[in-house]
Amino acid sequence: MQQIQLLVRCSLHAITSTEWTNTTSDSAIKSKLNYLTNNVISQWRAVCPNSGAYMSESDIQESDFQLAFYGSNYERLYKLKQRYDPKSFFYAPTGVGSEE
C-alpha cells in the first residue's frame, strides 16, 4: 500500500490587541497586557507554532521574540551584534541581544 504524505501549511495574519483609557491605572494596563500575552497570543501560537510577528505590531512581552521577530536569521544577527556592538550601546527591549 502506497503512503501519501500531505504537506499542510498554515498562513495566518491577525492583529490582536487590547485597549485602555487615559485614566486606566498602570496595574490594570499591565494586567491587560499579561492577559493578551499569556491567554490570547498563546492560542494563536497553538494554531501556527512557528509563525512570526511584524515588529511594529509585536508584543513587547513575547517570550520567544528571537524566533517570532527574527526567525532563522537570529543567530547570524546575534553574531553581528556581538562583533559590531559588543557593549550593547544600541538597545531595544526586543532587539537582538537584549535578552542578556
Mean pLDDT for 69-98 is: 92
* Predicted local distance difference test score (pLDDT) of residue 3: 67
Q: Which among 84, 82, 89 has a CA at the least distance from the CA of 97?
A: 82
90: helix, strand or coil: coil
Mean pLDDT for 72-99 is: 93
Q: Is the pLDDT of residue 80 over 70?
A: yes
Report the number of secondary-structure helices (H) and strands (E) in the chain: 4, 0
28: helix, strand or coil: helix
Any idea how long the chain is?
Answer: 100
The Cα–Cα gap between 60 and 65 comes to 8
Tell me the whole-structure pTM to 2 decimals: 0.56
Count the domains in the chain: 1
The model's pLDDT over 52-74, given as tens digits with 9 standing for 90+, comes to 666 566 777 888 889 888 989 99
Print the domain residue range for 75. Answer: 26-84
Does residue 72 sit within a domain?
Answer: yes
* Predicted local distance difference test score (pLDDT) of residue 97: 93
Residue bearing the bigger pLDDT, 18 or 13: 18
The model's pLDDT over 32-43, given as tens digits with 9 standing for 90+, comes to 999 988 888 888
* Predicted local distance difference test score (pLDDT) of residue 21: 94
Does residue 5 sit within a domain?
Answer: no
Does residue 37 sit within a domain?
Answer: yes
The Cα–Cα gap between 85 and 4 comes to 50
